[in-house]
Amino acid sequence: MTPVDVCEQILLVDDNPQNLKILYETLDGQGYRLLLANNGEKALAIAEHSKPDLILLDIMMPGMDGYEVCETLKLANGLRDIPVVFLSALDDIDSKVKGFEKGGVDYIAKPFQPREVISRVATQIKLRRLEQELKEKNRELSADNIDMRQKLEAQREQLAHVSRLSTMGEMAAGFAHEVNQPLTAITNYSRVAHRLLANLSGDALSDVNRADKKILATTLDKLEAQSHRASEVIQRIRGFVKKPKAGKEALDIRALLADTVKFAEVDARNNKGTVVLSLPDALPIVEADAIQVQQVALNLIRNALEATSSLQQEGMPSDEDHTVHVKAYEDQELLWVEVIDHGCGLAPDAEERLFHPFYTTKGDGMGIGLSLCQSLIQGQGGKIGFRRNAGKGTTFFFSLPIS
């Protein structure tokens, strides 16, 4: 990686001198001005004086640990906007989630790899530059350009969330890998039990009658079948969160939507709903990022299922009320995908706020799903929106340019 052309300041914080030395040697020569601190109190003093552009912060330190340092930074004027990347040997999901909750923007597990540190630091510095550029543009805009300032701020928030969601995607991929191993073991054990059962004969059958043997064999068959099904779900998760091979590609929307509907089977069962896919016999090929398009389609389907589920608390909905329809069609230049529900509908002010970052109608929602969908579809050169149905419910739609 070539050194950066602007001398940003990076504060390295670790109570272990050897770790500080490795961090310093890793980033030395990359064009940054490196500052060092071996405890939390010194880190805060240096941050107050120097206002670094990025802080690499160890978590497990005596006295004031990394979480406390980050909390203090986020409460201080002039320091709360400094991005913090946590460093720790604690590689469990709870520790990582806690780091994000405290205000961290990324997480590097020890022992770290030099190339990973350099890459993650470069990404955060780039985001920092973009943030500062956007702030500068905001200051230059006049009062007559309020709408433009709001758009720039929304773009900044989207950049930050895409960075966080990328990290969460890597965590999900690691989880899928770990779960897949015991599923393989379950399959192998059931096959061994099948062989042992088949070898039972003569005196051995005096303790296991024929009916019990048949029931046991059937049970083992079901065990193996369910382990295979779980493994297929895991493989779909891994395919969904992996990074695209090379951006846009020729995409068969029929196959992609079919896979997406299968991926939503668990959500359909949990919400006691049904997803019906209705597609014409042929659709044109589009140029798009398959993973990102699938992410958008799945998000819209899950939202639709949750909207239909809410009706169950209000009375006795019909079968159609439980059904989410997924359709696609083409016009002269665009291919359109629609997700139609007959659920609870949208708030009166939805047109103004629905695609804004952090706006949500869910009690446990983060308000980033539709905002991210809009960013992804616009990045493909398409459009996204919604309309209220004549009866009840909502139709969400997006388009992709025809290849």
* Interval 105-130: pLDDT, tens: 999 988 888 898 999 999 999 988 88
**pLDDT tens, 12-41?**
999 998 989 999 999 998 999 999 999 999
Let me know whether 236 and 271 are in one domain.
Answer: no
3-state secondary structure of 134: helix
Let me know whether 221 and 259 are in one domain.
Answer: no
Bridge partners of 84, per DSSP, are 55
User: According to the per-residue pLDDT averaged within each range, which of 158-172, 237-251, 314-328, 329-343 is highest?
Assistant: 329-343
Q: Strands 334-340, 394-401: parallel, antiparallel or unpaired by DSSP?
A: antiparallel
DSSP 322: G
**pLDDT tens, 367-396?**
456 877 888 888 888 999 999 988 888 999
Number of domains observed in the structure of the chain: 3
User: Does residue 159 form part of some domain?
Assistant: no
**Contacting residues for 122 by C-beta, under 8 A, at least 6 apart:** 1, 4, 30
Alpha helices in 105-247 (DSSP H): 114-140, 146-198, 210-241
Q: Give the pLDDT score at 237.
A: 61
Q: Give the pLDDT score at 360.
A: 60
Let me know whether 294 and 354 are in one domain.
Answer: yes
Query: What is the average pLDDT value for the chain, to the nearest integer?
Result: 79
Q: Report the alpha-carbon distance of residue 246 to residue 199 in Å, rounded.
A: 52
Q: What's the CATH number where 277 sits?
A: 3.30.565.10
Q: Strands 334-340, 323-330: parallel, antiparallel or unpaired by DSSP?
A: antiparallel
Let me know whether 27 and 128 are in one domain.
Answer: yes
Q: Spell out a b/e string for 116-127, using b for 16 or more CB atoms within 10 Å of the CB, else e.
A: ebeebbbebbeb
Closest CA to 12 of 86, 63, 71: 86
- Residue 343 pLDDT grade (very low, low, confident, very high; cuts 50, 70, 90): confident
Q: What's the CATH number where 209 sits?
A: 1.10.287.130
Let me know whether 182 and 277 are in one domain.
Answer: no
Let me know whether 52 and 194 are in one domain.
Answer: no
3-state secondary structure of 20: helix
Q: What's the CATH number where 89 sits?
A: 3.40.50.2300
User: Does residue 3 form part of some domain?
Assistant: no
Let me know whether 204 and 294 are in one domain.
Answer: no
Query: Which one of 91, 120, 140 terminates a domain?
Result: 140
Let me know whether 87 and 37 are in one domain.
Answer: yes
Q: Give the pLDDT score at 280.
A: 93
User: Does residue 39 form part of some domain?
Assistant: yes
Q: Walk across the sheet containing 394-401 and list its strands.
A: 274-278, 323-330, 334-340, 394-401, 384-388
Let me know whether 257 and 236 are in one domain.
Answer: no
3-state secondary structure of 309: helix
Q: Report the alpha-carbon distance of residue 52 to residue 47 in Å, rounded.
A: 6
- Specify the amino acid at residue 303: N
Let me know whether 230 and 353 are in one domain.
Answer: no
The pair of three-digit structure tokens given for residue 50, joined into one six-digit string: 């120097």
Q: Give the pLDDT score at 334.
A: 93
Q: Stretch 58-81: mean pLDDT, rounded?
A: 91
Alpha helices in 242-357 (DSSP H): 253-263, 265-270, 290-309, 350-353
Q: Report the alpha-carbon distance of residue 204 to residue 213 in Å, rounded.
A: 11
- Token look-up 């107050």 returns 48
Q: Stretch 312-337: mean pLDDT, rounded?
A: 81
382 lies in which domain range? 249-401
User: Does residue 154 form part of some domain?
Assistant: no
**Contacting residues for 4 by C-beta, under 8 A, at least 6 apart:** 30, 31, 32, 122, 125
Are 47 and 55 in contact, with CB atoms under 8 Å apart? yes
3-state secondary structure of 230: helix
pLDDT at 242 over 70: no
Q: Give the pLDDT score at 379.
A: 82
Are 340 and 325 in contact, with CB atoms under 8 Å apart? yes
Residue 330 half-sphere exposure, CB side, CA atoms within 13 Å?
14
Let me know whether 275 and 253 are in one domain.
Answer: yes
**pLDDT tens, 253-289?**
999 999 888 878 877 888 888 999 999 999 999 988 8
Let me know whether 259 and 289 are in one domain.
Answer: yes
Q: How far is CA 165 from CA 150, 159, 170, in A?
A: 22, 10, 9
Residue 88: in which H helix or E strand, if any? strand 84-88
